[in-house]
Chain A
């Protein structure tokens, strides 16, 4: 069984991100930057009806627009659209302006159908049906364990709460899309994707081509957070347009499109009842949860768009009853979004825990230490509480003086992760001492390239800057899709194996007993005229799954305006073997900031009258800005014995819960609905007058 070296020069230290210079200088080329020879601009026409029968799509006038080289309908013949923004047609032209004009020249004959876009409306008996042969709300049966009703009667303290989370949008800074060239030789696609293989397979399948005829390249991509797997309608349409126009087509979605059609995190409406014995031991738990995954998780790319959430999340309660109901609405379907199902699960459960702690008169950290089955997390609570100053900061709810009330809260996380066995890689050692390490994996900004350079350097006794890392090409050995926090635990053991074998073979072929470090150039020279190419793959024993993590939050709430300011977040995260500290720190910051957005600002708003997404932009779908960022202190537990574990997702799970608990602690009353806006804070404080005006 292989194992990581005990003493390391690079692993667990900080190597600067190897592609940072390319990014800060503007040299990095993303899919949206690719300017293939003779390229055309592509654009998609979307349904403005939330539900409609499409009888005919007339592309004639669009084709007449000067500069337009192709126009295609997404589906032939009649079709049904089921959400505002569903794709209808696409055009390719020499300029963006020509495409914009062409879209407006497409005539769509449609008959509007009844629709429903809000979860609570969709649950009504007489609501319009999203799908003809099924009710909008699934017939979920509760799952029981133990005797819940009996158990509640035995509890010393029981709380009930209704905790809700909104539909959240991924909104990576680079939109979805790709540049595709489809010629007789095959397809080349520069895709903004988290999974080049998934795009390759999606294009091959959708276009009915052999997989070997499809090449996908992703040198740089501008974020995904779970939404960028598969070819997407945009990938397939770009390819078909390219074929029709006989030119490469760059089809990138607009920010408007991103709010409609490329995935989201399902909402949750969690009715929770939680009971404990007098000493705080959890005894009974009931959850009735519903939420929407849009028109349905079935059509979500890459899975992970389920309404069901793990409950009672990280806790083991002997008597439970859990029910999940997925409610279909006429809106874009959900897709996996950073730690799918976990942030809402954490929010509901950890809010309930704090409410229970208040009822029991117990310190919330004590209640968690009593009930958290994970030794690692219990240790993290102890460490975190001490670093955070929890004992000094935790006051009875609502007890801080003055109009700006300070409060603190905490929450825990769990995640699976683990490495993908089928990850492969190769190294090419050149006689001049150069070394390329090639994997068909992509770097989403997570630091993948740097991790590869670090591991290679460590094994070969070289410096990371001596390693030429090549990723993002399906011509390279297949790597993992970047999801589930599996990338680092997949590629690190793979690079370990590739480089270990490369070193062995170099030494064997050249007769140099130890080719590492200073001996490297001379050893390589002995290769003569033939570079050495060595293949390797993921090996057992160097990575594992399962991360915990806890976060503490301090929030200040202005009770006269309702505005929430998060002063500080402290994160204690077990990391397995830290591969590269500085890029890991960035991942932690990123997860926390995404959780902050979920807690305070983000919400996809549907209009029940028109069925449209009302906030398809960054103006009213609000992301944290520089002025909203709290002080983020990080404690990393380096646990080399567990091997490499991915932490991209655990770090975003408990943030909103911790912030929600801090706000409740500050106010003495809970805002149990995300996002926690000034409007909701003022309402929770009883300051909001009821509506007077009747709609005219």
Chain B
């Protein structure tokens, strides 16, 4: 339904808004919130739990992880210390470095600043969940081919941020790639090669920084 007014701005219905934005992330987020709400309603919503440990079930890489956790345990802590999924790294524990980046319903978040208990009901993807049947994803392969890892500690975080980007937009510009990586820090200096790996994904291999070898 569309109205218009004197200023020429349309009134948009929710449906047309979703259409124009691209439904995936928004409907997923809304649907997740709705499904969390629905689940909780069923299960005696508004129940107070903690501060001692409570059962927390996390859906990680499609597999349920059944844990017993205090409410104050972060999602990062749950993954690294209560399961064997140590791919997400603890770089700062303060939502500033991105080494802990995981996907929550396909959207990158800092797992260090998310409580495990509130991550229930969402699809969590970690770096361990990207390879299919032991084969690295295209992005992971690009990282290998362009030498986009050095010590490797920041690598899972960058891989998750870029995986989310390419899921949403298979043909990002260089600026969009940089924007997607803004929340990830690397101290070894892999950023130029990460750009190369991401640009390889969109078939842009030509321009950019150069290395020349002169044989003395």
Chain A residues in contact with chain B, CB under 8 A? Answer: 12, 16-17, 19-30, 32-33, 35, 41, 95-97, 171-175, 220-223, 225, 252, 254-255, 383, 387, 444-447, 574, 578, 581-583, 585-587, 589-594, 617-619, 623-627, 629, 631-641
- Whether A20 lies near B94 (C-beta < 8 A) is no
B-chain residues with CB within 8 Å of residue A22 when the two chains form the complex:
152
Complex interface bits, B107-119 against A, C-beta within 8 A gives 1, otherwise 0: 0000000000000
Chain B residues in contact with chain A, CB under 8 A? Answer: 70, 72-73, 77, 80-81, 84-94, 96-97, 99, 126-128, 130-131, 136, 140, 143-145, 147-156, 159, 178-179, 181-182, 184-195, 208-216
- Whether B153 lies near A619 (C-beta < 8 A) is no
A592 to chain B, nearest CB (A): 7
Distance between Cα atoms of A221 and B153 in the complex (Å): 8
Distance between Cα atoms of A223 and B150 in the complex (Å): 9
Nearest residue, chain B, Cβ from A628: B191
A sample of 25 cross-chain residue pairs with beta-carbon separation below 8 angstroms, ordered by A number, consists of A16-B144, A20-B147, A22-B152, A23-B149, A24-B136, A25-B130, A26-B87, A35-B86, A41-B81, A173-B99, A221-B151, A254-B93, A255-B91, A387-B212, A445-B188, A574-B216, A578-B213, A583-B147, A586-B193, A590-B190, A592-B189, A594-B189, A619-B96, A633-B210, A635-B214
Contact residue among B86, B147, B178, B188 (Cβ-Cβ distance under 8 Å from A585):
B147
Contact residue among A20, A26, A591 (Cβ-Cβ distance under 8 Å from B126):
A26
- Whether B213 lies near A24 (C-beta < 8 A) is no
Distance between Cα atoms of A150 and B130 in the complex (Å): 70
- Whether A26 lies near B214 (C-beta < 8 A) is no
B-chain residues with CB within 8 Å of residue A32 when the two chains form the complex:
80, 86, 89-90
A-chain residues with CB within 8 Å of residue B192 when the two chains form the complex:
589, 629, 632
- Whether B144 lies near A24 (C-beta < 8 A) is yes
Contact residue among B149, B209, B210, B212 (Cβ-Cβ distance under 8 Å from A24):
B149
- Whether A173 lies near B216 (C-beta < 8 A) is no
Asked whether A636 and B213 contact (CB < 8 A) given A173-B185, A618-B92, A618-B185, the answer is: yes
A635 to chain B, nearest CB (A): 5
- Whether A632 lies near B214 (C-beta < 8 A) is no
- Whether A444 lies near B189 (C-beta < 8 A) is no
A-chain residues with CB within 8 Å of residue B152 when the two chains form the complex:
19-20, 22-24, 28, 220, 222, 445
Nearest residue, chain B, Cβ from A582: B147
Chain B, interface SS category? loop
Distance between Cα atoms of A641 and B195 in the complex (Å): 34
- Whether A29 lies near B86 (C-beta < 8 A) is yes
Contact residue among B89, B145, B154, B186 (Cβ-Cβ distance under 8 Å from A16):
B145
- Whether B210 lies near A222 (C-beta < 8 A) is no
- Whether B187 lies near A171 (C-beta < 8 A) is yes
- Whether B212 lies near A634 (C-beta < 8 A) is yes
Asked whether A23 and B155 contact (CB < 8 A) given A17-B147, A626-B181, A637-B216, the answer is: yes
A227 to chain B, nearest CB (A): 11
A-chain residues with CB within 8 Å of residue B127 when the two chains form the complex:
24-26
B-chain residues with CB within 8 Å of residue A24 when the two chains form the complex:
127, 136, 140, 143-144, 148-149, 152, 155-156, 159
Distance between Cα atoms of A32 and B143 in the complex (Å): 23
Contact residue among A26, A96, A387, A589 (Cβ-Cβ distance under 8 Å from B190):
A589
Asked whether A618 and B94 contact (CB < 8 A) given A444-B151, A634-B212, the answer is: yes
- Whether B210 lies near A638 (C-beta < 8 A) is no
A-chain residues with CB within 8 Å of residue B148 when the two chains form the complex:
20, 24
B-chain residues with CB within 8 Å of residue A174 when the two chains form the complex:
89, 91, 151, 153
- Whether A634 lies near B211 (C-beta < 8 A) is yes
Nearest residue, chain B, Cβ from A225: B187
- Whether B208 lies near A631 (C-beta < 8 A) is yes
A-chain residues with CB within 8 Å of residue B72 when the two chains form the complex:
97
Distance between Cα atoms of A621 and B184 in the complex (Å): 15
Beyond the given A20-B148, A619-B94, could you list 18 further A-B residue pairs with CB under 8 A, ordered by the A residue number?
A16-B144, A23-B149, A29-B86, A96-B73, A96-B81, A97-B70, A175-B90, A586-B150, A589-B192, A618-B96, A618-B185, A626-B181, A626-B184, A626-B194, A629-B191, A632-B192, A635-B212, A636-B212
The 7 closest A-B pairs by CB, nearest first: A26-B87, A590-B189, A445-B151, A23-B152, A222-B153, A445-B150, A33-B86
